[in-house]
């Protein structure tokens, strides 16, 4: 059945008043005749400001569905954008309860047919699954992108039990994002709302760092605790260039009727993501909505359960515009698992050996961003420098093209001279000239080797067998090239270092590779990307991105400097001006884990009608052997006059971290 395009209207500030009196602000696209011919509702619910934050992607996406018979509702969660109230944390019980209330409010509207879908990427992908797990009856379908099912294991806080520096990096982002004022054109009391928001704004890295184990705090919102609670039909989408690639296969495996797609993309919607090839995400999403919200037979039940983009092996680069490859279907576990032993002659031939793992603290400098999102040089570069600081095991040149599809698993026998340590393992593609491309990787806090909820220190100088899973991937290594397993006990600046330098002795190990028959032809195809007209803006300052490594030859300190100027634009329709600049600096001495420092500074600008608003947010983190030390400042300016300032410091004990 073909959708007939309908004329639509936009409501920039529809109020949704919750039971406690808090007014949430929604931007709505819907058919003009929806009161006479009610339509299903599609909710996107997140804190990233519908008025200026997500406008670019909203313009491409929501009108498309509205013209095809849906009401699209983009809601700012409480305490953000133009919504009243105060935000406590990410995915708080209050946030999720508000989401359920919004869904029930939607179905009570005369223009809604009584069925609701929820869609979102990242934060909106997370809370969409979490709200679905609460079981609101009108919610029939979910499209979740770049999200996770386990908040401790696969978010920006911890990975393999190691503390991700993204815990502070993204916390600094939210310290900035959520401290911004509402649009003065929409709220007469905008200044009062802003000051209340500034006073209550939580410094979330300190909250998150107080939970260094997988405790009840992280179990809340982790839908893997009870996949069966999700009754809505779920379409999950991810990208190999994104941090959240592991959730899609878990969703497909554990939620009946779920479907999954993983492409080559970074953290973006796949109708405008990079690298290419993009797909017709809007058309695929429409098939999902039409089937589960309108009972139209679109055939989605017969789609492959899990389709991934098998990337051809490529030269290492910190950015790709396209990735050659082909779509494959993985509806069953890997067809073949190949075990490659670690041995004295490399990878693939067993034998006795002893190798010392004692990496400099700056090992990992070419690992790229944990989550590539800002479209700068954020992907892993040539791994040769990191490989030189690691223990490496290479295969002989491969006799045929080798398709890796799944999550490799690495088992190591090692002993440590310290009770607290960490391991980073990379599976790399080594080219004939020696260039090294990271295929996938994993990290492990050795105290979390058996349990993330009850970590235990290593027994010093005693052989211990540990196993870690690397991230899911679909990648072809060409005939004549090599595979390399690179092992280090530092991976900066991705993870925070152990409190003391460690020396680990590695005496055995193997990697289990999930392989499949070589794919000669594409096994699935998608329509080309479609989208609505782009957001209409006037560029006032161009965007640019800088990422550089600096070495102080006097002190030996190595620094990663990141400068992301996102530019400054004016909305051509309502006139609001916004601009953002983010700066990060991560420093460490190669010989001293306690020299690690992280610093972030965000500038956010908002202007209209002679009003100039700005926030400056800064934070820093360091540690000694027993304690993490954090500090943060928040300053707010109106027409360049400081109107609010707050500083905080915090000390948080290290807990097997």
Give mean pLDDT, residues 250-261.
97
Number of domains into which the chain is organized: 2
| 340 in the same domain as 462 | yes
Percent of the chain with pLDDT over 90: 96
Res 331: pLDDT: 75
Q: Which pLDDT tens digit goes with each residue over 88-107?
A: 999 999 999 999 999 999 99
Nearest-angstrom CA–CA distance, 96 and 78 = 11
Phi, psi of 258 (to 5 degrees): -70, 150
| 456 in the same domain as 547 | no
Mean pLDDT score of the chain: 96
Q: pLDDT category, 338, cuts 50, 70, 90?
A: very high
Q: Which pLDDT tens digit goes with each residue over 171-186?
A: 999 999 999 999 999 9
For the record, the structure tokens of 473 come out as 């991937």
Residue at 21 is within a domain: no
Does the pLDDT of residue 293 top 50, yes or no? yes
Q: Which residues of 273-286 are buried (b: 16+ CB within 10 A; e: fewer)?
A: bbbebbbbbbebbb
β-sheet bridge partners, residue 614: 605, 637
Residue at 137 is within a domain: no
Does the pLDDT of residue 365 top 60, yes or no? yes
Task: State how far Cα 371 lies from the chain centre.
Answer: 5
| 482 in the same domain as 560 | no
Does the pLDDT of residue 159 top 60, yes or no? yes
Does the pLDDT of residue 525 top 50, yes or no? yes
Q: Which pLDDT tens digit goes with each residue over 575-597?
A: 999 999 999 999 999 999 999 99
| 605 in the same domain as 490 | no
Does the pLDDT of residue 109 top 50, yes or no? yes
Does the pLDDT of residue 1 top 50, yes or no? no
Residue at 552 is within a domain: yes
Residue at 398 is within a domain: yes
Q: Are 637 and 613 in contact (CB under 8 A)?
A: yes
| 581 in the same domain as 488 | no
| Three-class secondary structure of residue 318 per DSSP | coil
| 553 in the same domain as 638 | yes
Q: pLDDT category, 333, cuts 50, 70, 90?
A: low
For the record, the structure tokens of 179 come out as 């401290």
Residue at 549 is within a domain: yes
Q: Which pLDDT tens digit goes with each residue over 13-60?
A: 999 999 999 999 999 999 999 999 999 999 999 999 999 999 999 999
β-sheet bridge partners, residue 495: 164
| 563 in the same domain as 510 | no
Sequence-separated (6 or more) residues with CB below 8 Å from residue 92: none
Res 305: pLDDT: 96
* Domain CATH code at residue 436: 2.60.120.260
H-helix or E-strand spanning residue 599 = strand 592-608
| Three-class secondary structure of residue 107 per DSSP | helix
pTM: 0.97
Region of 248 on the Ramachandran plot (φ > 0 left; ψ -120 to 50 alpha; else beta): alpha
Res 377: pLDDT: 87
Residue at 602 is within a domain: yes
Pairing relation of β-strands 537-541 and 544-551? Answer: unpaired
User: Cα angle at 375 between 170 and 635, to 5 degrees?
Assistant: 40
Q: Which pLDDT tens digit goes with each residue over 471-487?
A: 999 999 999 999 999 99
For the record, the structure tokens of 166 come out as 């993204």
Does the pLDDT of residue 3 top 70, yes or no? no
| 549 in the same domain as 503 | no
Does the pLDDT of residue 2 top 60, yes or no? no
Q: pLDDT category, 334, cuts 50, 70, 90?
A: low
Residue at 4 is within a domain: no
| 377 in the same domain as 504 | yes
| 499 in the same domain as 420 | yes
E-state strands within 122-176: 139-145, 158-159, 162-163
Task: Tell me what percent of the chain is helix, strand and coil, each rounded to the nearest 5.
Answer: 15, 40, 45
Q: Are 122 and 47 in contact (CB under 8 A)?
A: no
| Three-class secondary structure of residue 224 per DSSP | helix
Residue at 230 is within a domain: no
β-sheet bridge partners, residue 608: 611
Range of the domain at 348: 331-516
| 566 in the same domain as 477 | no
| 557 in the same domain as 442 | no
Q: Lowest mean pLDDT: which of 80-84, 312-316, 376-380, 530-534? A: 376-380
Burial class (CB within 10 angstroms; exposed 0-12, middle 13-18, buried 19+) of 624? exposed
């Amino acid at each position: 059945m073909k959708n007939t395009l309908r004329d639509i209207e936009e409501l920039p500030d529809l109020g949704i008043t919750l039971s406690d009196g808090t007014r949430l602000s929604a931007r709505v696209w819907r058919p003009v005749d929806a009161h006479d011919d009610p339509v299903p509702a599609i909710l996107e619910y997140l804190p990233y400001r519908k008025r200026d934050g997500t406008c670019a992607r909203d313009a491409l996406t929501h009108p498309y569905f509205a013209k095809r018979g849906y009401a699209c509702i983009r809601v700012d969660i409480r305490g953000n954008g133009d919504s009243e109230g105060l935000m406590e944390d990410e995915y708080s019980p209050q946030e999720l309860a508000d989401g359920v209330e919004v869904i029930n409010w939607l179905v009570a509207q005369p223009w809604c047919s009584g069925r609701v879908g929820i869609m979102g990427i990242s934060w909106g992908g997370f809370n969409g699954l979490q709200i679905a797990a609460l079981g609101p009856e009108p919610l029939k379908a979910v499209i979740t992108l770049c999200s996770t099912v386990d908040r401790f294991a696969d978010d920006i806080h911890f990975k393999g039990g190691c503390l991700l520096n993204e815990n502070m990096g993204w916390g600094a982002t939210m310290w900035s994002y959520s401290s911004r004022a509402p649009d003065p054109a929409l709220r007469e009391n905008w200044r009062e709302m802003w000051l209340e928001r500034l006073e209550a704004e939580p410094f979330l890295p300190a909250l998150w760092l107080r939970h260094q184990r997988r405790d009840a705090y992280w179990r809340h919102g982790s839908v893997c605790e009870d996949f069966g609670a999700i009754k809505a039909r779920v379409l999950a989408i991810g990208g190999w260039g994104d941090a959240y690639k592991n959730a899609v296969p878990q969703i497909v495996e554990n939620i009946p009727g779920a479907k999954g797609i993983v492409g080559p993309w970074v953290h973006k919607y796949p109708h405008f993501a990079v690298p290419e090839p993009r797909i017709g995400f809007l058309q695929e999403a429409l098939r999902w909505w039409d089937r589960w919200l309108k009972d139209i037979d679109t055939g989605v039940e017969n789609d492959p359960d899990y389709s991934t983009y098998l990337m051809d092996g490529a030269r290492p680069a910190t950015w790709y515009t396209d990735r050659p490859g082909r779509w494959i279907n993985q509806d069953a576990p890997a067809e073949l698992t190949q075990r490659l032993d670690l041995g004295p002659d490399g990878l693939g031939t067993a034998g006795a050996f002893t190798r010392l793992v004692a990496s400099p603290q700056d090992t990992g400098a070419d690992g790229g961003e944990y989550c590539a999102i800002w479209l700068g040089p954020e992907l892993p570069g040539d791994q040769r420098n990191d490989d030189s600081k690691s223990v490496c095991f290479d295969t002989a040149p491969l006799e045929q093209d080798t398709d890796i599809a799944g999550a490799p698993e690495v088992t190591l026998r090692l002993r440590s001279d310290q009770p607290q340590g960490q391991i980073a393992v990379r599976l790399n593609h080594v080219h004939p000239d020696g260039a090294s491309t990271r295929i996938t990787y994993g990290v492990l806090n050795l105290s979390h080797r058996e349990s993330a909820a009850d970590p235990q220190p290593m027994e010093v100088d005693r052989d211990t067998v540990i196993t870690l899973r690397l991230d899911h991937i679909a990648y072809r290594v060409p005939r004549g090239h090599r595979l390399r397993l690179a092992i280090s006990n530092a991976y900066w600046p991705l993870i925070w270092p152990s409190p003391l330098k460690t020396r680990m002795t590695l005496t055995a190990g193997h990697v289990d590779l999930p392989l499949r028959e070589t794919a000669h032809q594409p096994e699935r195809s998608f329509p080309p990307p479609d989208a609505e007209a782009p957001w209409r803006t006037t560029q006032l300052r161009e965007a640019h991105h800088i990422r550089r490594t600096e070495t102080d030859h006097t002190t030996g300190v190595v620094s990663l400097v990141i400068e992301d100027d996102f530019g400054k634009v004016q909305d051509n329709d309502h006139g609001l001006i916004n601009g953002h600049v983010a700066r990060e600096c991560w420093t460490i001495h190669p010989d001293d884990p306690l020299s690690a420092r992280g610093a972030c500074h965000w500038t956010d600008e908002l202007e209209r009608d002679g009003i100039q608003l700005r926030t400056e947010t800064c934070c820093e983190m360091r540690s000694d052997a027993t304690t993490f030390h954090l500090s943060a400042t928040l300053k707010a300016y109106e027409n360049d006059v400081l109107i609010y300032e707050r500083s905080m410091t915090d000390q948080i004990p290290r807990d097997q971290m």
